[in-house]
Amino acid sequence: MKTTKAGKALANEMKIKFLGVSENERLARICVAGFIMDLRVSAQELADVKTSVSEAVTNSIVHGYKNRRGYVTLCAKLFGTDELYISVSDDGCGIEDVEKARQPLFTTDPGSERCGMGFPIMESFMDKVKIYSRPGKGTKVIMIKKLGCDLAVKDGSAAVKRGKK
Ligand SMILES: Nc1ncnc2c1ncn2[C@@H]1O[C@H](COP(=O)(O)OP(=O)(O)O)[C@@H](O)[C@H]1O
Ligand SMILES: [Mg+2]
């Protein structure tokens, strides 16, 4: 059975493969939102996950495939009740220098509306971001996030307030 290092068991899993066209950025956001919607997750966390997926999928479409067609695979897994694992992969052009690509404001597409903040956004919204890429072969971005942390903080403060009464 699949488990995390901490021993949390795989509770749910989904995988979708879609053509890398911009219409499907919305599809990816909706699918991932549907996957986590009924979990204990704050509106902010839901928005953060959707934005991160959107950034990774957009990258596959605009940078990975540029002007050619190819497929993007979005995979989501839930371990236990709160450990979300997401991967976004493509068979596009790949990234020459991953460390450089992660830097804020780094972009290979300066003429467009892109501003080199896709990876920094993913890194700030998710707990962990791993990038695996081989030039000419493709890219896989893995993002991990513990859900329900915002709510735990809220519950905690409520408990403190109640305790003070
Ligand atoms: N899936 C991908 N395939 C190829 N190159 C990518 C991919 N994702 C990111 N990159 C490279 O990493 C750079 C930084 O990405 P990002 O931080 O999202 O900024 P931006 O998309 O605004 O350029 C991109 O400009 C591109 O060169
Ligand atoms: Mg980007």
Does residue 114 have an active-site annotation? yes
Q: Has residue 61 been placed in a domain?
A: yes
Over the chain, what is the mean pLDDT? 92
112 alpha carbon, closest ligand: 1
pLDDT for the residue numbered 161: 47
Q: Has residue 5 been placed in a domain?
A: no
Q: Look-up: residue for tokens 């699949």?
A: 2
Q: Has residue 48 been placed in a domain?
A: yes
Per-residue pLDDT reduced to its tens digit, 37-87: 999 999 999 999 999 999 999 999 999 999 899 999 999 999 999 999 999
Taking CA atoms only, the protein residue closest to ligand 1 atom 3 is 64
Res 28 pLDDT > 60: yes
Q: Has residue 40 been placed in a domain?
A: yes
Q: Has residue 65 been placed in a domain?
A: yes
Q: Has residue 151 been placed in a domain?
A: yes
Does residue 67 have an active-site annotation? no
Within 6 Å (CB) of ligand 1, which residues are found? 55, 59-60, 63-64, 90, 92-95, 101, 106-109, 114-119, 139
Number of domains making up the chain: 1
Does residue 23 have an active-site annotation? no
In CATH, what number is assigned to the domain containing residue 114?
Answer: 3.30.565.10
Q: Has residue 1 been placed in a domain?
A: no
Between 6 and 9, whose confidence is greater? 9
Min mean pLDDT across 20-29, 31-40, 113-122 is at 113-122
- Ligand 1 atom nearest to 119, measured from its CA: 17
- Ligand 1 atom nearest to 90, measured from its CA: 1
Q: Has residue 2 been placed in a domain?
A: no
Nearest to 18 by CA among 76, 71, 86, 93: 71
Q: Look-up: residue for tokens 């690509």?
A: 101
pLDDT for the residue numbered 164: 41
HEC string for 131-159: EEEECCCEEEEEEEEECCHHHHHHHHHHH
Domain span at residue 70 reads 10-164
- 115: Cβ–Cβ under 8 A, 6 or more apart, which residues? 105, 107
